[in-house]
């Protein structure tokens, strides 16, 4: 079943076309990767889906309902949560309080105190933060702040989780731990995930399908294996022309 459908979405900033008639569908329960060089339009697409920006044209439907005219808080309550490239937790609050605050803006706002406490404990454990619950967010390492960003998004009770470079700046060991945590929360919460990531090994390992953007246009979509063999992707993303791909398996 299609959970998210983006149809001919465009976004123009002055004379710059950030997205040019992009269409894609995200299936319920899949992990869908979004790939492209800096400036390809990936974060702009996230911002429109989450309601932080309005499209210049085109539509976005979630669970069969049109959402591109809604505010971010309305979209969040419908079941879409996002993380941001630059993590900015409430620096003066504890990890636990950051997660509890996020609950005020999603589908979990009506939980009883006991249900809320149980869910917070579960999320902290899944994200590897249970031992840091009482730490002030400003004291966390980058890796822990990234995991807190995921935990805050989970606390809203999403069906669709938009992850914007949650592995950027992490060590290989931290990347491995993040992949394990994301797979764990996906299974435990029945999530669908749309993920932007420049750590290509992680994107290939996690994704069922990958969509590639280049200069605001969708240039390829398929399995990680399909994308790795796609000449247009190689030329746009890696600067490799078709002739250099000849003879490769």
156-187: pLDDT as tens digits: 999 999 999 999 999 999 999 999 999 999 99
Residues 46-103 have pLDDT tens digits of 999 999 999 999 999 999 999 999 999 999 999 999 999 899 999 999 999 999 999 9
* Domains in the chain: ranges and CATH: 71-207 (3.40.50.300)
> In the predicted model, what is the mean pLDDT of the chain?
92
The residue behind tokens 């399908």 is 209
Q: Do the Cβ atoms of 26 and 192 come closer than 8 Å?
A: yes
Q: 57-62 and 65-66: which strand pairing?
A: antiparallel
Over the range 178-200, which residues count as b (16 or more CB within 10 Å of their CB) and which as e? bbebbeebbeeeebbbbbbbebb
pLDDT at 107: 81
Q: How far apart are CA 73 and CA 19, in angstroms?
A: 23
Q: How far apart are CA 191 and CA 30, in angstroms?
A: 8
Tokens of 205: 């390992």
Task: Name the band, by pLDDT with cuts 50, 70 and 90, for residue 199.
Answer: confident
Task: Name the band, by pLDDT with cuts 50, 70 and 90, for residue 240.
Answer: low
pLDDT at 248: 47
pTM value > 0.85 = yes
pLDDT at 35: 94
């Amino acid at each position: 079943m299609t959970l998210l459908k983006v149809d001919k979405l465009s976004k123009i900033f002055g004379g710059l076309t950030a997205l040019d008639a992009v269409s894609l569908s995200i299936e319920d329960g899949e992990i869908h990767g979004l790939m492209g060089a800096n400036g390809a339009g990936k974060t702009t697409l996230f911002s429109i889906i989450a309601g932080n920006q309005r499209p210049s044209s085109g539509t976005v439907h979630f669970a069969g309902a049109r959402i591109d005219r809604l505010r971010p808080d309305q979209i969040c309550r419908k079941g879409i949560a996002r993380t941001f490239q630059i993590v900015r937790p409430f620096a003066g609050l504890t990890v636990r309080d950051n997660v509890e605050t996020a609950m005020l803006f999603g589908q979990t706002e009506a939980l009883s105190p006991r249900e809320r406490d149980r869910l917070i404990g579960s999320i902290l454990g899944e994200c590897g933060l249970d031992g840091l619950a009482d730490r002030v967010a400003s004291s966390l390492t980058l890796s822990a702040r990234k995991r807190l960003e995921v935990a805050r998004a989970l606390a809203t009770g999403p069906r669709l989780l938009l992850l914007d470079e949650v592995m950027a700046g992490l060590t290989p060991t931290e990347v491995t731990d993040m992949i394990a945590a994301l797979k764990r929360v996906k299974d435990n919460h029945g999530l669908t995930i749309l993920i932007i990531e420049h750590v290509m090994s992680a994107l290939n390992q996690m994704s069922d399908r990958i969509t590639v953007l280049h200069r605001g246009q969708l240039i390829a979509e398929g399995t990680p294996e399909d994308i790795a063999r796609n000449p247009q992707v190689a030329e746009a993303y890696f600067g490799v022309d078709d002739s250099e791909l000849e003879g490769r398996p």
